[in-house]
Structure 1
Amino acid sequence: MASPLRRYRAGESLEDYCRACKNDRLHTVIAVDSDGRPLRVSCGYCRSEHAYRGGPRVKAHGATSQTGHTGHSGHTVPAASREATHAPSAPRSAREGSAPPSAGDGFPLISERERTMPRMSADSSVADLELLLRRVIREEAGVSTVTPADKWRGGSLVLRPGTPGLQEKAWPIETFFHKIVMLRNRLRTLEQHVNAADLPDEVKVKLQSYITGCYGSLTSFNVLFAEDEDQFKGSGGE
């Protein structure tokens, strides 16, 4: 006999899939229906709000659910349908870095060009520890996949000394691009926290002006982004 569904109330916590984080996160329930089913939740990591998506994409023990689940609309979705939508066909670390992104795609969170050590042996339990660690660290640091301008794909960031005879330093452009995206995401998160904070209006305005000034100082890097919505907006922006 199946156990009854739990009834939730606003303010309670549950796990759900966050598209902004691209990961399962702990969420806070914002709204529920008359039967106590969550309708809208807020991610406890990035603070983004979205409709409840039916729970975590992957169970805590690593196995996906074998039975159907009930979404916020009340319709039961078969487990096979969920797995076809969410379950990866191959390890993510193997997919990212194995093939270059095509035009219009974002830089993968990790790329083969960023490797500094030889590939691990085939008998290792982890396909590639270095690329795996890079992906995990960037995901936890808030880096998201953003589309770069096509002309920068395969490029390098080069620091060339003005003194003759000194060696220049170069990095894959995606390494620098990810740092810029991470900085932008953290500024956006800071802005959300300021807006939601219980502060006097004059303090909020002052803090907002500092954040806007940071955006303005970083507009030089907008040349890296393919989409206007991903760019930094200073005081002259919308």
Structure 2
Amino acid sequence: MSTPLGIGSRVDHMHFGKGVIVDTASEFYIIWFKSQQDTKSISKDYEGLKVVDGVDGAPTDGPITIADIEQALHNILDQRLHDTQVVPIALKWKRGNMILKPNDPTMQAKEIPIETFFHKIVMVRDKLRVMEQKINAHKGLDDADKVELQQYITAVYGSLTTFNVLFKETIHQFKGVSTKD
């Protein structure tokens, strides 16, 4: 790493995993690692540190405060919440169309590109995942309430397994309640 990294840079350490630079010194970075739930001092010339998303390492005015660290983490978390993962559609459906044909012959059929429909399904899946995270992190719900709400979400996933045929990779598919013991 020849260019110094600034506060807010996201990195990946070979042992500690993903982290965020929260302060810098002349010879090392102070990095908060999610897996450790703590900060570590890592040498700036350490070879096992990969840059995920670099921020310019321009000098800062004065010492770094807790408020600066909180703001940097808030910005990064806010950015990550809006990141969308590219989910590929199965090749056999690319450039295909879905036709909705009413039983009434006087009504016109509706044709929709399958990729548009697939995008909507992926958005539903992603919103369900965010809802799960919000339920699990909610401080006003007790464990029983969280489990009950989680069961509804799992049932929704189960109902959406019909659309798994559209996904190229099984890791992106919906998974409901397993019937295996």
Q: TM-score, normalised by structure 2?
A: 0.57
Between the aligned residues of both structures, percent identity stands at 42
In structure 1, how many angstroms separate the alpha carbons of the residues matched to 2:20 and 2:110?
A: 48
Letter paired with 2:98:
L
Q: What SS does the aligned partner of 1:218 have?
A: helix
CA contact (8 A) 1:144 1:182 kept: no
Q: Please name the residue that 1:195 is paired with.
A: 136
List 4+ stretches of structure 1 deviating above 6 A: 28-36
Give the unaligned 5+ runs of structure 2: 12-18, 36-40, 54-80
Q: 1:172 to 1:196 in 2, by over 3 A?
A: same
CA shift digits 1:175-213 (9 cap, x unpaired): 111111111011111112222222311111111111111
1:38 equivalent to 2:31? Answer: yes
Q: What are structure 1's unaligned runs of at least 5 residues?
A: 7-13, 19-27, 42-48, 50-71, 87-139
On the 8 A contact 2:10/2:20 being kept in 1, the answer is no
* Mapped pair 1:154 → 2:154: no
Tell me: CA distance 1:164–1:197, structure 2 relative to 1, closer, same or farther (3 Å).
Answer: same
- Whether 1:74 aligns to 2:67 is no
- C-alpha spacing 1:154/1:179, structure 2 compared with 1 (3 Å): same
CA distance 1:182–1:200, shift in 2 (3 Å): same
Cα 1:74–1:172 shift into 2, 3 Å: farther
From 148, 152, 158, the counterpart of 1:210: 152
Higher helix share: 2
Give the alignment's TM-score, normalised by structure 1.
Answer: 0.45
Radius of gyration: which is bigger? 2
Contact 1:146/1:230 (<8 A) preserved: yes
| Cα displacement (A) at 1:145 | 1.2
Q: Take 1:185 and 1:225, find their aligned partners in 2: how far apart are those partners?
A: 14
Q: CA 1:210/1:32 → structure 2, altered by over 3 Å: closer, same or farther?
A: farther
Which structure would you say has the larger RCO, counting Cα contacts within 8 Å and 6 or more residues apart? Answer: 2
> Residue 43 of structure 2 aligns to a residue in which SS?
coil
- 1: distance between equivalents of 2:92 and 2:160? 20
1:165 Cα deviation (Å)?
A: 3.9
Higher strand share: 2
How many residue pairs match? The answer is 131
